[in-house]
Amino acid sequence: MTKTLAGAFPVLPTPFAADGQIDKADFASIIDFVVESNVDGVVYPGVASEVETLTSDERRSQMLFLAERLAGRLPIIIGASDPDPAVAVKHVAQGGEIGAAAAMVIAPLAIGNDVAAQIAYFKAVSAGAPVPIMLQNQPKPIGAGLLPEEVAEIVKAVPEIRYVKEETAPFGQNLTRIKNAAGDSVDAVFGGAGGRYVTDELARGAAGTMPASEIADIHAMMIHAWQKGDRETTRRLYNISLPLLNYQAIFRMHLTKEVLRRRGVIKNVFVRAKGPKFDADDLIELGNLLDDADLPFTNHKIV
């Protein structure tokens, strides 16, 4: 029987060299870093991976490299989203090729809250799927921003969907509503949103969280402490890391890569995706946030 997925599953960034090309050496270092961080699995490629900037060849090459580098050390949730179900099917099939534990698919923005159309989409994507499907409920303008009861209706109609990643506000309430409405139709519900609401999500029965990777070891410590009943440690780690995660909500991949650089994990911080960039004062503030938090990193400590 396949073990139900649970725990800390960071979304890996895609590192790029200064010329914008993928940096395989940095990617290998990221993979090794999350393994050393004692996480429970990885997600790739996702929104935090700048997936929308990757070509199909880059995407496939990265997935094969990830699977080879991990060599079975951690389960992989493959990002398989595409508004075209035929393309999503190909991504899901690749998950089967590399032995992924699940394939995560965003409920498409273009379909919106038309539940019947979403059901048809997910049935097309999951037909004959070699791995379980995870429905990712992203808010607009990235995803459809489904209501919790709409998510439940979809998972009940598509038995291949075994997991949900819920990322719409109010996060905790929506997670509870999905669990109540879906019942046994789904194996587990994960939180997302950068891990900024993880204590509320865990208290409501979330199986885990899927944040970015810059403090993967801290998120693993949070989740594992909670699983052991040590709520005090989870809340302490959450409270000291939250200012950094709030800053990450603004600068996204720029912050993830800069923190990983400062931790000695990667050398390059080039970002392809659009979004706010750091100025000199922002970088000073980032340093202050890291100093103030004094996070108990288990590896790659900032010196």
Q: For the chain, what are the domain ranges?
A: 7-293
Query: 81 burial class (0-12, 13-18, 19+ CB within 10 angstroms)?
Result: buried
Q: Which pLDDT belongs to residue 2?
A: 64
Instruction: Please report the pLDDT score of residue 1 as a whole number.
Output: 40
Percent with pLDDT over 90 in the chain: 98
Q: Are strands 161-166 and 133-137 parallel, antiparallel or unpaired?
A: parallel
Q: CB 181: neighbour CB atoms within 10 A?
A: 18
Interval 207-225 mean pLDDT: 98
Q: Do the Cβ atoms of 107 and 98 come closer than 8 Å?
A: no
Tell me if 136 sits within 8 A of 165, measured CB to CB.
yes
Q: Which residue in 236, 237, 244, 222 sits closest to 291, CA to CA?
A: 244
Q: At what angle do helices 253-262 and 231-251 cross, to 10 degrees?
A: 120
Q: Label residue 279 by pLDDT band (50, 70, 90).
A: very high
Share of the chain above pLDDT 70, in %: 99
pLDDT at 3: 83
Tell me the whole-structure pTM to 2 decimals: 0.96
Q: Which residues contact 282 (CB under 8 A, 6 or more apart)?
A: 251
Architecture of domain 7-293: Alpha-Beta Barrel (3.20)
pLDDT at 246: 98
Q: Could you tell me the pLDDT band of residue 174, with boundaries at 50, 70 and 90?
A: very high
Q: What is the pLDDT of residue 141?
A: 94
Mean pLDDT of 275-300: 97
Cross-strand bridge partners of residue 143: 108
